[in-house]
Structure 1
Amino acid sequence: MDWEILFDEYLEHLCDTIGHSDRRASLVGYCQGLMLPIARKSVEPLAAHLEPHRVSARHQSLHHFVSKSEWSDAALMEQVRRWVLPHMDPSSGLYWIIDDTGFPKKGKHSVGVARQYCGQLGKQDNCQVAVSLSVATEEASLPVAYQLYLPREWAEDPARRQQAGVPDQVEFATKPQIAITQLRDARQSGAPNAVVLADAGYGNDAAFRASVGELGLQYTVGIQSSTRVWPPGVAPLPAVPSTGKVGRPRSLQRRVPGHDPVAVKDLALALDPSCYNTVSWREGTRAALSSRFAALRVRTSHRDNWRATPRDEEWLLIEWPIGEIEPTKYWLSTLPEETVVQHLVHVAKMRWRIERDYQDLKQEFGLGHFEGRGWRGFHHHASLCIAAYGFLVAQRLSQGSKKNSEVRSVPALPADYIPRGSSAHAATRI
């Protein structure tokens, strides 16, 4: 089937989620514009390329649709998932990948902007940060939830909240708390069972790991080298036996001097070199990617002296590349005890798929190009970018690799067209 006919069917599928019929033309137009291989994908350039001779009118309708119109981002993204997921083959594994991405921003008025770590810059700077949940297989991945992280200085400032249109129900939440809510919502909407993957920014949070387990999901998550665990075969001491004295019997586990958990780095350094074996996990651009790994069964120790029974054992996976003076990465995993180290490595390294999502969404679909300042516009633009990207993911899976620039050509602009915000045009860009 011709891709344009299929894209029209896809857009019709999406339109079922947005309510009023007068929004349909804007959703179709916005997604069509996002598919164009143009450099900037904020509202005004989209309008200019969609209707070069009616830029002002088209700009106004698209701006209202993305910044003001009250349609559900969650409903739209669920509809995208329903279209794409049947194209994804879970036979080799299905994963939930949790991550966050940053957008450098100047000024302080755009919603959620604060000085914080920005992955795109690799340092602390003024930026917005959004948390995403993606469903992934070996061949593809797709964000299915996306929410702006609202720093505490924003969450607790009524004036800034009102100006940016932050909903009353949105309170301060850490990134791991946002991610757990996304996972819980996905499960309640019928999303499939899958292994949860996340970096140490999430995996080092004991409450996050516990919440994943409470959802009935396995995880393989990064942790910091300072995370403390009980080595193989070691656990907290049981409670002191009752002496027969009056009072409530003691039930909590104990730690005593000389019987303590250890940092995973110290445990890794103490292992015999024979415990580390070279494992390859996938083909890179030039050669197979490989490194040295060790895996052992441990128990985490966070607040276990407030528990009556030991925690279950789980895997500690350690990566120590040849040439490095110490291990570089650590993961905890609740995959079954019989799991071989090669599979542990394969699962842990599946997080790389999210990098493809962010690269395409930012470079091909303008994820960071929204120029408004409000909460609703930020999320509407992102949902529409993900919707357009979802179609491309489905096409790649069904027809082989295809770049966005190969599926649409750019309409010509009028010779007298002057972009908004240029030196020859006084209007403000939105």
Structure 2
Amino acid sequence: MAVARQYSGTLGRVDSCQVAVFLAYAQPGAGHALVDREIYLPRCWAADPDRRRDAGVPERVKFATKPQLAAVMLERALAAGLDLSWLTGDEVYGNDPVLRARARAHRLGYVMAVSRDTRMTRPDHPHLTVTAQQIATFLPEHVWGRYSAGAGSKGPRTYDWAYVKIAESEADGSVAGHHWLLIRRSITTGELAFYRCWSPRPVALAALVRVAGARWAIEESFQQAKGQVGLDEHQVRTWRSWYRFTTLAMVAFAFLAVLSARHRPPRPTLPRPDDPIGLSVPETRRLLHWIIKPVQQSIDHALAWTAWRLRHQARARFHHYRRRTSIDLPR
């Protein structure tokens, strides 16, 4: 199964920066990388000739929303032959009917986050429109199941999940398939999250949960790309220079991700202290640094140091998993 995801980062304060939309590609058990990017040009910038000239924005570039940019990148990925099975994204994209329609037109399943006040109908009540929050409120307890949304660095990311069949809306078009509302509930706080899902064929709840969990790959991709290849360390202020720097950083990160994936053993469900742990992107970069830029210590020292770190990480993973699995025992 392959999962593609788009993301727009938010700084959380007023600052001098560029806002961009990225497309990431992930394969469970293999790895993930950023595969496409577009600058988000605010409407005020798109309509300002002086700003456009100073930043070198091409004349062909017009204002586009973040979901529209994501749709363009999705079309490029499919045209390039990228093997995609599912699409997932946050509320900015899940609330956009046009992007969801693009995915359905390509028979591409999706699990897209939506807001709690998103209105929808159930097939058993076609004349009643309710919010996602209202649907969750009246669900009986026996429909909830406890599943892991994927393996984290400190254990499985376990939540309570439920899904409900929903009716096709007018905005959803007429492409045949199956629509669901997927609901995630925190075991500790009871906080809810909602996802609008579609698939050309029936799928189990566990399959939708795995796709929803793949969204974490984008956070890991950004963290690693910033820490290992300096994705956020540019000082550029023009259109062309941003694309050049960002593209080079993405290529460098993809190179490290592929090398790491080739030396990654299968992750066990319940790891033991002596289970092998694969090379992470940071470990791969450290080894390349030793090879490309020799220092006083020998390569044997570098390999021994890496082996020690991997053993330490394996033991830490074992204890984290043992603690988390004892907490998240099924009811």
- Which of 108, 119, 125 is residue 217 of structure 1 equivalent to? 108
Whole-angstrom distance in 1 between the partners of 2:95 and 2:225: 27
Residue identity in the other structure for 1:340: A
- Which of 14, 22, 31 is residue 125 of structure 1 equivalent to? 14
- Which of 130, 141, 147 is residue 279 of structure 1 equivalent to? 147
Aligned to 2:5: 97
Instruction: State the structure with more CA Rg.
Output: 1
Counterpart check, 1:200 vs 2:91? yes
The alignment's C-alpha RMSD in Å is: 2.3
Residue identity in the other structure for 2:2: L
Query: Is the Cα–Cα contact under 8 Å of residues 178 and 202 in structure 2 kept in the other structure?
Result: no
3-state secondary structure, aligned to 1:408: helix
Aligned to 1:69: none
3-state secondary structure, aligned to 1:299: coil
Q: Which moved more, 1:369-378 or 1:283-292?
A: 283-292
- Which of 185, 188, 211 is residue 320 of structure 1 equivalent to? 185
Whole-angstrom distance in 1 between the partners of 2:120 and 2:42: 31
Whole-angstrom distance in 1 between the partners of 2:62 and 2:122: 39
Aligned to 1:366: 230
Percent same amino acid among aligned pairs? Answer: 29
Aligned to 1:166: 57
Report deviation, 1:357: 1.1
Question: How far does the alpha carbon of each residue in 1:172-191 deviate from its partner, in whole angstroms, 9 at most, with x for none?
Answer: 00000000011112222222
Report deviation, 1:282: 2.6
Whole-angstrom distance in 2 between the partners of 1:188 and 1:303: 25
3-state secondary structure, aligned to 2:62: coil
3-state secondary structure, aligned to 2:195: strand
Question: How far does the alpha carbon of each residue in 1:144-170 deviate from its partner, in whole angstroms, 9 at most, with x for none?
Answer: 211111111111111110111111111
Report deviation, 1:311: 8.2
Report deviation, 1:206: 1.4
- Total equivalences in the alignment: 274
- Which of 293, 299, 303 is residue 167 of structure 2 equivalent to? 299
The structure whose residues are more often strand, as a share, is: 2
TM-score (ref. length: structure 2):
0.77
Alignment of 1:35-46 (within 5 A): none
Report deviation, 1:322: 2.7
Query: Is the Cα–Cα contact under 8 Å of residues 21 and 39 in structure 2 kept in the other structure?
Result: yes
Query: Is the Cα–Cα contact under 8 Å of residues 300 and 311 in structure 1 kept in the other structure?
Result: no
Whole-angstrom distance in 1 between the partners of 2:138 and 2:70: 34
- Which of 33, 53, 56 is residue 142 of structure 1 equivalent to? 33
Aligned to 2:320: none
Question: How far does the alpha carbon of each residue in 1:238-259 deviate from its partner, in whole angstroms, 9 at most, with x for none?
Answer: xxxxxxxxxxxxxxxxxxxxx3
Alignment of 1:179-258 (within 5 A): 179-235=70-126
3-state secondary structure, aligned to 2:111: strand
Which stretches in structure 2 are left out of the alignment for 5+ residues?
Answer: 265-278, 295-331
- Which of 286, 298, 302 is residue 405 of structure 1 equivalent to? 286
Query: Is the Cα–Cα contact under 8 Å of residues 228 and 301 in structure 1 kept in the other structure?
Result: no
Report deviation, 1:298: 0.4
Whole-angstrom distance in 2 between the partners of 1:393 and 1:194: 20
